[in-house]
Structure 1
C-alpha cells in the first residue's frame, strides 16, 4: 500500500460509489470496500509515494486550498494493467490546474512522488477494484457504466498512509 494526497467527494457521491462497491462485491469482484477494515474512502489521488510526510505537505500547500470546491463529472470507467478498474473524472481545466498547482508547491518543497502522478502523466481516477478477475471484467465494466455519469464535488483532502496508520486532514 502507498501513501497518497487524497481528494474526497460530497456525501451523495461517496454513498453512490460505496453502493457500486457493494454491487461489484455481489458479483464476485473484490473492491476497495473491504480494504482497511472498511475505512477506505472513495477518493481521487493527486500524488502517491511509498511514504509521504503529512505535515510537510500541509506546510507546502499553505495558502493553497488542498480541496477547492471543484465540480467533477465521473463520466467513464477504465482499466490499468493488472486489472485495476476505476471511474474517471473528465479532466477539466480546473481539475488539471489544481493538480499542477499542488505539484508546483510539492516540487518547491522537495516533496516527490511516483512519476505516474506528475502533471502530463497523471490519469485522474477513482479506484473501484485492484484486481478484477478476468472472467468478471466485462460484467464489472457494465456495472460501473450503470452508475455513470456521476456529478461530484470535492469537499475534503487528506494525506493518508494507512500502511503506517497515518492520516492528516488538510481541509
Structure 2
C-alpha cells in the first residue's frame, strides 16, 4: 500500500497528461489511468509512506497552502528501477523550499515518510506508468517526449491512499 501527499495540476496540464495516458493505453502500455480502477489523476507527490493519517497531515500543514500557486515545469522523462516511467519536474528553488517546509512540518508533528521523499533525496516527478513492459520502454519514452515541455500550475493537494479509498483534500 502507498499513501501520498499529492499535488494536482491545472486543467490544461491534467488534460495533456491524461491524453498521454490514453495514447499509451491504446498502444498496450499500462498507465496510472488503468491502475486501481482509474482512481489516479495526474499529480506530483511531495511525500509518501506505507500509511499517512489524513488528520495528522492536515493538522501538521494547517495554514500552509500546500503547493497552491507553484509553477511546475515538466521538461524531461525518467525511469525508476522496476519499469516506472515518469515526467520529470525541474527542481526550482520555490519548489524545493516548499517541499522542505512541508517535510519540516510533517517531521515536527511526528508524521513519518519514506526516505526517498525527504529533502535532498526527492526526485520531483509525475508518474506515467508503474509497469511499462521492457520491450515497450523505448517507445513509451518517445511518446512522453512528444508532449513535453509542459508547464503546470498546482491547483490543489490531497492525502491519498487509493488502495484503501482515501482521498482527503487539503485546504489552507
- Work out whether the TM-score is over 0.5: yes
Q: TM-score, normalised by structure 2?
A: 0.97
Q: State the alpha-carbon separation in 1 of the partners of residues 68 and 11 from structure 2.
A: 16
1:136 alignment partner, SS class: helix
1:37 alignment partner, SS class: coil
Aligned residue for 1:21? Answer: 21
Deviation >3 Å, runs of 4+: none
Aligned residue for 2:127? Answer: 127
Aligned residue for 1:169? Answer: 169
Aligned residue for 1:34? Answer: 34
Deviation at 1:67, TM superposition (A): 2.5
Deviation at 1:33, TM superposition (A): 0.4
The answer for unaligned runs of 5 or more in structure 2 is none
2:128 alignment partner, SS class: strand
Aligned residue for 1:47? Answer: 47
1:74 alignment partner, SS class: strand
Q: TM-score, normalised by structure 1?
A: 0.97
**Deviation readout 1:24-69 (Å, 9 max, x if unpaired):** 1122110000123222111000110111000110100012111220
Deviation at 1:84, TM superposition (A): 0.3
The answer for unaligned runs of 5 or more in structure 1 is none
Instruction: Using the TM superposition, name which of 64-73 and 142-151 deviates more.
Output: 64-73
Q: State the alpha-carbon separation in 1 of the partners of residues 35 and 25 from structure 2.
A: 12
Aligned residue for 1:57? Answer: 57
RMSD: 0.8
Q: State the alpha-carbon separation in 2 of the partners of residues 164 and 83 from structure 1.
A: 24
Deviation at 1:138, TM superposition (A): 0.7
Q: Which protein is richer in helix relative to its size?
A: 1
Show the 5 A alignment for 1:123-162.
Answer: 123-162=123-162
Aligned length: 171
